[in-house]
């Protein structure tokens, strides 16, 4: 078996947000993810003897299983902790305990501040596996999926229609880093963070992408190579579900809206999906849906991220 090629190390100590990766590092993660997917056997001992703590404040299917498999398939082992972080004991104490035991920390939290504080108090790498502001691992897997489908993604248009949430933030930041155009359609009161929008405009000024922010789903969908959506009420927002169903009623991805995209457009969703709300069954089950490719690529993108932080 041919030895694995040298792995570029990420300059930043942690990946708590998408901005922790440079343009070159985003491309390097995606290239390594493709290589790991193609030749997984070359990396089976890359993290031998390494332990990773996985902290989950939120329930999880894709994140938990793909991270645990990624760690095991790289030769390491995962230790799981479920429950609120910083409730039973101060977060800084928890972080400093973990720092003595494990080689990295993966945290899926409600608040971005929790991930940031964990990174401040722990010297080992900390990876954001989802927070209220960012979902970098999901966005990397999504970019890998688009590269597989279209080859180069530079110049493609990705439209996100729905809630201006953590997934939307991470997608538009990664799209800008890769020279893609991004269109975001959200209802009033559910817009994305203006600070992140401003960051994306700044990246686009350097790298050539375009960002359109609108309240009109048709404007966002027009000519797009990918249409992306997410649930209207995320975990922790259940008490807003009825109000959100009303606010987002015109933002459903149905067959009519999907036809406004490019003829070769794909449908994307980070899952879980609520069929009949943000997307119709016909669209998500169509041959142009790549939602399970995205889910599969969580495994490979996260392997690449672990390797570049820990190898």
- Catalytic positions are 108, 135, 138, 230, 270, 298
Q: Residue 81: is it exposed, middle or buried by C-beta count within 10 angstroms (0-12/13-18/19+)?
A: middle
Cα separation, 105 vs 125, whole angstroms:
6
Write down the residue that tokens 């590092």 correspond to.
25
- Chain mean position to CA 103: 22
| C-alpha to C-alpha distance for 106 and 309, rounded to whole angstroms | 12
To which H or E segment does residue 82 belong?
strand 77-82
- Cβ-contact 21, 29 below 8 angstroms: yes
Smallest CA-to-CA distance from 148 within 46, 300, 303 is with 300
Q: How far apart are CA 99 and CA 150, in angstroms?
A: 41
């Amino acid at each position: 078996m041919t030895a694995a090629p040298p792995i570029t190390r990420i300059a930043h100590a942690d990946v708590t947000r998408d901005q922790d990766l440079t343009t070159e590092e985003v491309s390097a993660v995606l290239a390594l993810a493709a290589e790991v997917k193609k030749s997984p056997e070359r990396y089976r001992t890359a993290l031998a003897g390494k332990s990773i703590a996985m902290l989950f404040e939120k329930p999880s299917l894709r994140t938990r299983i793909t991270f645990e498999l990624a760690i095991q398939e790289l030769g390491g082992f995962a230790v799981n902790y479920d429950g609120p972080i910083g409730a039973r004991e101060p977060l800084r104490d928890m972080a400093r305990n973990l720092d003595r035991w494990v080689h990295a920390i993966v945290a899926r939290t409600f608040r971005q501040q929790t991930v940031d504080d964990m990174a401040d108090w722990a010297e080992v790498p900390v990876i954001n596996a989802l927070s209220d502001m960012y979902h970098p691992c999901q966005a990397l897997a999504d970019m890998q999926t688009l590269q597989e489908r279209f080859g180069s993604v530079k110049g493609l248009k990705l439209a996100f229609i729905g809630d201006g949430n953590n997934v939307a933030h991470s997608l538009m930041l990664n799209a800008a880093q890769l020279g893609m155009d991004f269109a975001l359609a959200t209802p009033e009161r559910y817009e994305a963070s203006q600070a992140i929008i401003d960051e994306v405009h700044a990246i686009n000024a350097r790298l050539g992408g375009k960002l359109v922010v609108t309240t009109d789903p048709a404007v966002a969908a027009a000519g797009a190579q990918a249409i992306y959506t997410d649930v209207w009420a995320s975990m922790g927002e259940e008490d807003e579900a009825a109000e959100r169903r009303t606010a987002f009623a015109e933002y459903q991805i149905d067959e009519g809206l999907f036809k406004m995209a490019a003829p070769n457009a794909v449908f994307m969703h980070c899952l879980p999906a609520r069929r009949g709300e943000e997307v119709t069954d016909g669209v998500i089950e169509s041959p142009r849906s790549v939602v399970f490719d995205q889910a599969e690529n969580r495994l490979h993108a996260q392997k690449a991220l672990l390797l570049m932080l820990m190898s």
